[in-house]
Amino acid sequence: MIVHDAHCHFLTKRFFEALGRDKYGDKFVSAEATAGEIGWEVTDNAGELARRWVAELDEHRLSRAALIASVPGDEDSVAAAVERYPDRFVGFFSVDASAGDAEDRVERAFAGRLLRCACLFAAMHGYSYQDHCVYKVFEAAARHGCAVFAHCGYLSIEARVKLGVPRWFNLRLGDPLALAATAAHFPTVPVIIPHFGAGFLRDAFMAAEMCPTIHLDTSSSNAWLRYFPELTLAEVFRRALLLVGPDRLLFGTDSSSFPRGWRRVIHGAQRTALDEIGVELEVREKIFSKNFERLFKA
């Protein structure tokens, strides 16, 4: 079966430098030192990191992957990776929609044609998905035929947890229903909510019913399930297929760091869950590749 991963993080030196600033403030700490403190590796430049990801995809027989520039301002790194391997990568980039330069940054990213999805983290950056700044991101996506990824629900960033960076996130801002209210005004813009809504499962399902452009990605260990002891991953898939439908689910792993690399165990757990509920091949193909191909044609 063809497999595309709709959720991988492209962690460059800039990411680790930003992480070090968040932990140590004005004290300069190199990217290598910050990464070493949590047992992760740093790759010298975007080209080398892109080659490493291609090798990872080849090893695990993956066709394509979405690469997310995981800190605002790192768009050029993912753009360089996509430019070098356009048949393997789709470029996503993080942006703080409330920042003063956000509108110009999003416009430049989409206009360059190498980046096709803006990633929003409202709980981290302190705005609502109904704020005017979010409308501006959607307007740019509509102009350029691009997509919007919007994190909702529980937000835990592995590198920040490992390093002990305080998590001053306002989880109330990661509201799928607020997102749906905005997304409904932009019927040509595909919207992706990762991790099945990351604990806001009911609201994510309601948002998807309100707004037919909303897709859910299946990525990560889905550790938010610990808040729902009555649920299993198989049951989440069953409900998602029933309420959202097979055309709006995107397989993802939330892979990010080396030396761990691509998270095969996540793929295995999701395949097992689909086996448990007897999902047929045609639906599996949509989840693992065809829906991604429809949204992000090579």
Residue 16's pLDDT band (cuts 50, 70, 90): very high
Q: Report the pLDDT value the prediction gives residue 28, as an integer from 0 to 100.
A: 87
Which residues have CB under 8 Å from 26's CB, separation 6+?
none
- pLDDT digits 0-9 by tens, 182-224: 999 999 999 999 999 999 999 999 999 999 999 999 999 999 9
Domain that holds residue 55: 4-295
Residue ranges of alpha helices (H) inside 197-277 are 201-210, 233-243, 264-276
Q: Do the beta carbons of residue 132 and residue 180 sit within 8 Å?
A: no
Mean pLDDT of 252-260: 97
Q: How many domains does the chain have?
A: 1
Residue 275's pLDDT band (cuts 50, 70, 90): very high
Q: Report the pLDDT value the prediction gives residue 287, as an integer from 0 to 100.
A: 98
Locus of tokens 């063809």: 2
Distance CA 296, CA 146 (A): 9
Is the peptide bond between 259 and the residue preceding it cis, with omega within 30 degrees of 0? yes
Residue 248's pLDDT band (cuts 50, 70, 90): very high
Q: Which two tokens stand for residue 16?
A: 């680790």
Q: Report the pLDDT value the prediction gives residue 298, as an integer from 0 to 100.
A: 84
Q: Report the pLDDT value the prediction gives residue 26, as an integer from 0 to 100.
A: 83
Distance CA 99, CA 132 (A): 12
Q: Report the pLDDT value the prediction gives residue 33, as an integer from 0 to 100.
A: 96
Residue ranges of alpha helices (H) inside 69-200 are 75-84, 102-111, 122-125, 132-144, 158-163, 176-183
Q: Which two tokens stand for residue 208?
A: 């998807």
Residue 24's nearest CA partner among 166, 168, 125 is 166
- pLDDT digits 0-9 by tens, 32-47: 999 999 999 999 899 9
What's the predicted TM-score (pTM) here? 0.97
Q: Evaluate the CA torsion angle 266, 159, 126, 8 in order and state its sign.
A: negative
Mean pLDDT of 271-292: 98
Q: Report the pLDDT value the prediction gives residue 27, as an integer from 0 to 100.
A: 85
Residue 175's pLDDT band (cuts 50, 70, 90): very high
Domain holding 272: CATH number? Answer: 3.20.20.140
Q: Report the pLDDT value the prediction gives residue 137, as an integer from 0 to 100.
A: 98
| pLDDT above 70 coverage of the chain, percent | 100
State the chain's mean pLDDT as an integer. Answer: 97
Mean pLDDT of 231-252: 98
